[in-house]
Structure 1
Amino acid sequence: MSVPVREHHGGRLHEAARRWGIPVSDWLDLSTGISPWSWPVPVLPTSVWQRLPDEDDGLEALCRHWLAVPGEAGCLPVPGSQAALQLLPRLRTTCRVGVPLPGYREHALAWQREGHEVVPLSVEQIDAALPDLDVLVCINPNNPTGHLYPTDTLLHWHQQLTAKGGWLVVDEAFLDASDGESLVSRCDQPGLIVLRSLGKFFGLAGLRAGVMVGPTAVCEALADQLGPWALSHPARWVMAQAVQDRGWQQLQRQRLRQARQRLNELLSKAGLFPQGDSDLFALCVHDEAEAIRDGLARQGILVRHFQQPAALRFGLPGNEREEQRLLLALQTLPV
C-alpha cells in the first residue's frame, strides 16, 4: 500500500520567509484559522513541570461540564484533535469512508493510510453516497469553506449510518466561533463521535490539546492507542483553566464576530467576495487566487491558497494596523 503524501497546511511561515526573502519578523501571517487573541496563560506552578500528568486530575469532569457531555458518553482529553483523527481509523476494520471535498485533508489521509477506501464527497453528493458508506466524516463548520451543516441533516445521516453499525465523525474544531450547534449532547447514541479543539477558538494551537466525545468503548480504545501521558501536564493544567473561563469565552465570541465582520467589509472593498459561517476565517473564490496569493506574499502577507476551487482563505487580522496593511496590499493587486 502506498503511503499518502503529507499535506501542507497554513502557518508555514519559515518556509515562506525563505521563498520570498522576507524575514519572519516582517510577515503578517493570515494563513491559519487560529484566533489572533489567545486565552491568557498564567505562570504555571513549578509542580506542573516536575510531575508526570495524572489522568485522575479532574480534567475529564471539567471537559464534560464545558461541553455538556451526556453521562453515558465517553469523554477523552487528547493531544489535539489531530491525534484523535489520526488514530480513529485504526479502530475499524477496512471499510468505505466518506470525507468532505473540499475539506481538511488530514481526515482523508488518516483513513487512507490505514487501508480504508476513501470517497471524497461534496455536500451535495453525500445523500446519494450514504447507502454505500460505513463512516462519514463531516467538518462543522467546514475548513476551508466555512459551511455549516444543519443539525437535522447530520442527525439524519447519523441515523442511517448507525442502522448498519457505521460511524458519523464530526470535527467541530471551529464550532466555538460560529452559530453552529454542537452534537456533543447527542453522543450518548452509538456511532456518533465528535472532535473538539482548544487550538482555534482559544488561540492555543501550540498547546496541542483537544477532546474526543463518543461511545465509551471507542474512547477507551483510542486511549489505548495513545498510550500513557499522551497529553502533557502543562497542557492538561492550561486546558483545565481555559475551559472554566466562561467570561473570557463570551468576550472571545464577541471579539471574533466583530473582527470577521470587519474582514468581510475589507475583502469586499478590495473586490473579493468572502463566504463561510466561521468567525475565524473567510474563503474567497477567485480565478486569480494564486496570483493574488503571490502578490500578497511579495508584500509580506501570508494567506492560504486552494486549487479546487481556486480560492484564498484569510485568517483574522489582530488589530486595525494589520487590517489596513492587508487592505492596502490588496489594492495594489488586480483583484
Structure 2
Amino acid sequence: MRNPVEVPAVPDHGGSLAGAEQRFPQAPKPWVDLSTGINPHAYPFSPLPATAFSRLPEPEDTARLAALAARAYGVSEPACIACGPGTQILLPLVMRLLQPGRAAVLSPTYAEHARAAALVGHTVGEVGAFEALYDADLAVVVNPNNPDGRVIAREQLLHLARHLSAKGGLLVADEAFMEVGPQEHSVAGDAGREGLVVLRSFGKFYGLAGIRLGFVLADQTRAAWLNAQLGPWAVAGPTVQIASEALADQVWANDMRRRLIKETARLDGLLSRHGLVIAGGTSLFRFVRSLHASALFQHLGAQGILVRPFRFDPYVLRVGLPADDTALSRLEGALMAFDAGAA
C-alpha cells in the first residue's frame, strides 16, 4: 500500500455557526449569519414526491437537469455539462483535467481552488495581476470574485484561454456568483472552446447551499470524462427535483435579481452611514473597508452577528445580506453601539 499523500489543510470559510459559538459563547441568539454569500431568500420549491427519496434518480432526470442548466447558463449543448454534488467536490476532478504543472490562482480569492490544485499535484502560486496567469499551465479566475466582486472582462478571459490552449494549458473560470454579475462578461456560453472550463454553483443564488449541486461546463470530451469519473447517481434525487424546478423558473430568477439589487442598496446605505467604505462585492455580499474592521468583527460577534474577516487584509470585512427587517435592525443597532463605544 502506498503512503498517503499529504493533504493540504482545509482553510477557514464563512458560515460556521459552530465556530462562532466557540468564539463568542455569550452572544445572544439566534445568530444573524452575514458571513456567507448565500442568498437569504431561498427558492420556494414545491413539495417533493416520496419517490425522490425512496428511488435512485433516473438517467433521464439527470439529463433533463443538465439540459435545464445548459439553457439557464447559455450553453449550446447539454453534453458540455457535468453535474456533481456541489462545486467543492468537483474541484479536484477539474484540476485533474491537466497533468500536474504550474497552476496560478488570481488572488485574493476563495481558497479551495489552490488547495484542490495542490491536492492533485500541481505547483500552485497565487498571483495578484491578471497578466501573471499567462505564464501558468493551469490558471484559475473567480469571476465575479469572492470576496471583493472584481470582474474580468470576457474578452480578456477568452484571450487568456486561447493562449493557454495553444501550449496545452487550461483556464478554469469559476462563475459561482455570475447569476448576480454582469452577464456580458460570462464565459459560460463559450465553454465548448478548447482551453476553457467554467464552474457554476447552484446553491448560492437559489439560497439552497445545503442540497449540494454544482456544474462544470466544458467541451464534450472533458465533460464526458468528468461524468464518467462521477459515475451514476452523482446528484441526489431530491436535489435533481428541486434544481430542475428552480432552473426552469426564470420569472423567479429575474424577480430575485431585482429584489437583491434593492436590498443591497439599503444595506450599502446603512453601512455607509456608520463609516464603512463599500469597496466592492456583489448583490449577495458587500466588501467593506474600515480602519476598525478587526474591532468591529469582534463587536458584532459579541452581539450575535457574524461577518467574515480575512487574513490577507485586517481592514476589510465581507457582509452578507440580512434575511429580513429583524436581522437588518439588529445589525443597525450593533453598528450604532459600536459608534457610541468608539466615540
TM-score bucket of the superposed structures, by smaller chain: over 0.9
CA distance in 2, matches of 1:23, 1:268: 25
Is the contact made by 2:288 and 2:317 (CA closer than 8 Å) also made in structure 1? yes
DSSP 3-state at the match of 1:332: helix
CA distance in 2, matches of 1:153, 1:315: 29
Distance 1:72 1:222, change over 3 A: closer
CA distance in 1, matches of 2:134, 2:180: 32
Output the amino acid matched with 2:218: G
Q: TM-score, normalised by structure 2?
A: 0.92
1:121 to 114, 127, 138: 127
Alignment of 1:119-268 (within 5 A): 119-122=125-128, 125-127=129-131, 129-180=132-183, 181-268=185-272
- Once the two structures are superposed, what CA deviation does each residue of 1:191-216 show, in whole Å capped at 9, x if it has no partner? 21111111111101011012111111
Alignment of 1:2-81 (within 5 A): 2-22=6-26, 25-57=29-61, 58-71=64-77, 74-81=80-87
Output the amino acid matched with 2:214: G
DSSP 3-state at the match of 2:242: helix
Alignment of 1:318-333 (within 5 A): 318-333=323-338
DSSP 3-state at the match of 2:205: coil
CA distance in 1, matches of 2:9, 2:297: 23
- Compare 218-227 and 238-247 and name the one that shifted more: 218-227
- Once the two structures are superposed, what CA deviation does each residue of 1:255-282 show, in whole Å capped at 9, x if it has no partner? 1111111111111111001122411001
Is the contact made by 1:193 and 1:212 (CA closer than 8 Å) also made in structure 2? yes
Output the amino acid matched with 1:109: R
1:107 to 109, 113, 137: 113
Output the amino acid matched with 1:76: A
User: In the TM superposition, what is the alpha-carbon distance from 1:35 to its structure 2 partner?
Assistant: 0.5
Output the amino acid matched with 1:107: H
2:322 to 311, 317, 321: 317
Distance 1:73 1:59, change over 3 A: closer
CA distance in 2, matches of 1:53, 1:73: 18
Is the contact made by 1:146 and 1:278 (CA closer than 8 Å) also made in structure 2? yes
User: In the TM superposition, what is the alpha-carbon distance from 1:73 to its structure 2 partner?
Assistant: 5.9
Among all aligned residue pairs of Structure 1 and Structure 2, give the percentage whose two residues are the same amino acid.
39
Distance 1:142 1:131, change over 3 A: closer
CA distance in 1, matches of 2:40, 2:277: 22
CA distance in 1, matches of 2:145, 2:172: 13
- Compare 199-208 and 147-156 and name the one that shifted more: 147-156
Is the contact made by 1:73 and 1:213 (CA closer than 8 Å) also made in structure 2? no
- Compare 300-309 and 276-285 and name the one that shifted more: 276-285
User: In the TM superposition, what is the alpha-carbon distance from 1:48 to its structure 2 partner?
Assistant: 1.1
CA distance in 2, matches of 1:293, 1:130: 33
Q: TM-score, normalised by structure 1?
A: 0.94
DSSP 3-state at the match of 1:70: coil
CA distance in 2, matches of 1:24, 1:204: 26
Aligned residues: 332
Unpaired stretches in structure 1, ≥5 consecutive residues: none
Unpaired stretches in structure 2, ≥5 consecutive residues: none
